[in-house]
Amino acid sequence: MGKISLKQVVKKFGEVEVIPPLDLEIEDGEFVVFVGPSGCGKSTLLRLIAGLEDVSDGRIEIDGKDATDLAPAERRLAMVFQSYALYPHMTVRKNIAFPLKMAGVDHAEQERRIASAAKALNLTDYLDRRPGQLSGGQRQRVAIGRAIVREPAAFLFDEPLSNLDAALRVGMRLEITELHHRLATTMIYVTHDQVEAMTMADKIVVLRAGVVEQVGSPLELYRTPQNLFVAGFIGSPKMNFVTGKDAAAHDAHTIGVRPEHVKLSKDTGHWAGTVGVSEHLGSDTFVHVETEGGLGLMTVRVDGEMDVHHGDRVFLTPEEDKIHRFDEKGQRL
């Protein structure tokens, strides 16, 4: 069981209110991702849930019971830190065993759980090494191992992959998602990488300056961003925004259209422009077009085989039914 609710939770550091009153429901077994720009309070929120920081106001409930004043250890949560926070003086085995030892689990049971965690995480050969003798990915797995042996109500991850190289990051992303399917335990995952958010989450919570901007499934956020911030934050490359005459034509202050929803043609189209940089990814090409008429730079996603060159004059046409409309306040219309 791992249902977590935050009710009017506030966090202040001295005078500074980092989290204004915030409500959030996390269902049992959900994979929830907190995303947002650096400094928006993701870690703070996670640490409030963990009990590593006191809330300044409000309540935190775990499985319907008030946990606001419980010590971290009493909340039955496990956390994987960005720096992994492995105990450098203990072997991998001892690291993984530590929470069990603290919980007074008997020795045979400890061994059993360590063995199964090690097997699940491919750590069996490294059990007698120390953290210093492991690679980044292996350390990461030990940190996860230490979290899973406790069979916690929920896992908390704070940017666990940010110290890994790109290839390893993709691999670990899959492993964590796989782990979630297998354990079906609630997971709360902090990242500022929107690709991680989109690919892993059941539910994404987009934060800005401590405020929840939108909560929803990855596709909901992609299809119907509630405001300019979410629209710009979710999706890669970023959504193109247009204001002025073209927006007014759609009865909006700003319209947005994603790069994949713009057609590029060499002969005719809605907006004219000149090709700047093209990024060839193989399967796709991101073409950056300097448009005429003061609309600025637009990004278009085209087929990887398409033949475009720096300086080409091209025409862009948005797909009408994929246009997002926003009012002056940036809210979705």
**Contact between 42 and ligand ATP per CB under 6 A:** yes
Residues 2-61 that bind another protein (CB under 8 A): 50-54
Residues 185-214 that bind ligand ATP (CB under 6 A): 192
Q: Cβ closer to ligand ATP: 40 or 287?
A: 40
Site string for Mg ion, 42-71 (x = CB under 5 A): -x----------------------------
Contact 213, 226 (CB under 8 A): yes
Q: Cβ closer to another protein: 65 or 329?
A: 65
What's the distance, Cα to Cα, between the start and end of the chain in Å?
38
Contact 76, 62 (CB under 8 A): yes
Q: Pick from 93, 113, 141, 150: which binds another protein (CB under 8 A)?
A: 150
**Contact between 73 and another protein per CB under 8 A:** yes
b/e code 300-331 from CB counts within 10 Å (16+ = b): bbbeeeeebeeeeebbbbbeeeebbebeeebe
Contact 207, 45 (CB under 8 A): yes
Q: Cβ closer to ligand ATP: 23 or 290?
A: 23
**Contact between 214 and Mg ion per CB under 5 A:** no
Q: Cβ closer to Mg ion: 43 or 226?
A: 43
**Contact between 82 and another protein per CB under 8 A:** yes
Cβ-based neighbours of 332, under 8 Å, separated by 6 or more: 224, 225, 226, 227, 231, 324, 325, 326
Q: Pick from 4, 9, 40, 143: which binds ligand ATP (CB under 6 A)?
A: 40
Site string for Mg ion, 27-46 (x = CB under 5 A): ----------------x---
Burial class (CB in 10 A: 0-12, 13-18, 19+), 269: middle
Binding partner of residue 89 among Mg ion, another protein, ligand ATP, none, CB cut-off 5 to 8 Å per kind: another protein
* Strand 324-326, strand 254-257: pairing: antiparallel
**Contact between 15 and ligand ATP per CB under 6 A:** no
Q: Pick from 98, 222, 286, 315: which binds another protein (CB under 8 A)?
A: 98
Q: Pick from 30, 44, 188, 257: which binds ligand ATP (CB under 6 A)?
A: 44
Could you list the residues that contact ligand ATP (CB under 6 A)? Answer: 13, 18, 36, 38-44, 192
Could you list the residues that contact another protein (CB under 8 A)? Answer: 50-54, 71-73, 77-79, 81-83, 85-90, 98-99, 101-103, 146, 150
Could you list the residues that contact Mg ion (CB under 5 A)? Answer: 43
